[in-house]
Structure formats: structure tokens, C-alpha cells
Amino acid sequence: MIFSHTNNEQGFTLIELIVGLVLTVIILGIAIKLLIFQRKTFNVQEQVNEMHQYIRSSMDAMSKEARMAGYNPTDAGFNGISVAQTGTLTFRIDFDGSGTIGGTETITYAYDQANSQIDRTAGAGAQSFAENIKNLSFSYYDSDGATTATLSDIRKIKITITGRTKNIDPTYGDYKYATLTSFVTPKNLDY
């Protein structure tokens, strides 16, 4: 009996294995770069959303209080707005209806450029009200819609807040910014 032994084993050559390994490394590298880019984009977008929510909630709170400026149920005779500057607004509200203005019934909003924040003072001292703020500005209008600097003529207040993201966007090397503007008409400023 004669046995014929033939070698029919097939496999990969060393060159084929190296080419396959190189292609796998290239594809994995591209996938990892895409995942890193996607994660950075997600982080930036998350910060932008947080910034928008933060300046909206700050604007809402400021507008609600400014709308009450001059509230005086006993007609005690005080000025509703006592300071009206570009970066500072001070107004009075008789919350308790006592006819006198106590310490927490005089409210000041001011922009603190050194700390990039809005400070709110009601009583004892200034407290941080909103952080990561690039700018806060107030404009004042009379009953005809013309700008005014006379406290007793103020009937409308324009509040503009420009916020920024907490961290720098690594893609562009700068912060992302957003601006929100609101017009507030305090109903109690009919002097």
C-alpha cells in the first residue's frame, strides 16, 4: 500500500498578518480620534446649554424683582429706583407693607468685572448672584421710550446679560458667549 501525503494546509503569510494588523491599528486610531472629538464636542455643547440655562434663570430672577421696583402698598413716598447706572441698578420694594424700607428691601444688582459675576446686595452684603458673566448692562427709558438718566422719569429698564461658558472651547481656544436681553416695565413707578 502506498500512501501519498500532500500538504494542503492553507494559512496566512507573515506579510498578510502584518498588513491586517496595520489596517486594524489605523481603523482603531481613527475610531478613537472620532470618539475623542465627539466627547469634546459633547462637553462644549453641555457647557453652552448650562450657560444658556444659567443666564435665563438669572434674567428671570432679576426681571421679577425689578418688575416690583417701587412697590409701596402704604404709599409711604419713597423712590422706587435709587441708582440707575450702566452696570448697577438699585431699587426699593416694600415687601412687608410696613411703609418703611428695611435692610433687605433695598436690592442692588451690580456687575463685578474682576470676578466675572453679577453681585446681588439685599441687606448685609453683596453675594454672588450669577457667575461666568462677561457683561451686565442696564438701559433706562422714560414713558415715551426715550433713554433717560433721571431717576423719577424711569418707566422701563432694559437688562442685557452676556454669559460665557465655564471653560475654554479647546477647538477654538476661546469661551463661547451668549447674550440675553429683556425689557422690564415696573408697574409701581408711577410717581
Q: What is the pLDDT of residues 51-76, one digit of tens each?
A: 999 999 999 999 999 999 988 888 77
Residue 22 lies inside a defined structural domain of this protein: no
- At residue 13, the pLDDT reads 87
Residue in the structure block whose three cell numbers are 498578510: 16
Residue 59 lies inside a defined structural domain of this protein: yes
- At residue 25, the pLDDT reads 97
- At residue 124, the pLDDT reads 79
Residue 138 lies inside a defined structural domain of this protein: yes
Residue 31 lies inside a defined structural domain of this protein: no
Residue 101 lies inside a defined structural domain of this protein: yes
Range of the domain at 169: 36-184
112-116 contacts, C-beta under 8 A, 24 or more apart: 116/164
Residue 69 lies inside a defined structural domain of this protein: yes
Residue 150 lies inside a defined structural domain of this protein: yes
Average pLDDT over residues 128-133: 94
Contacts of 160 (CB under 8 A, 6+ apart): 135, 136, 137, 138, 139, 179, 180, 181
Residue 9 lies inside a defined structural domain of this protein: no
Is it the case that residue 1 has pLDDT exceeding 90?
Answer: no
Q: Say how many domains are in the chain.
A: 1
- At residue 128, the pLDDT reads 92
pLDDT band at 130 (very low <50, low <70, confident <90, very high): very high
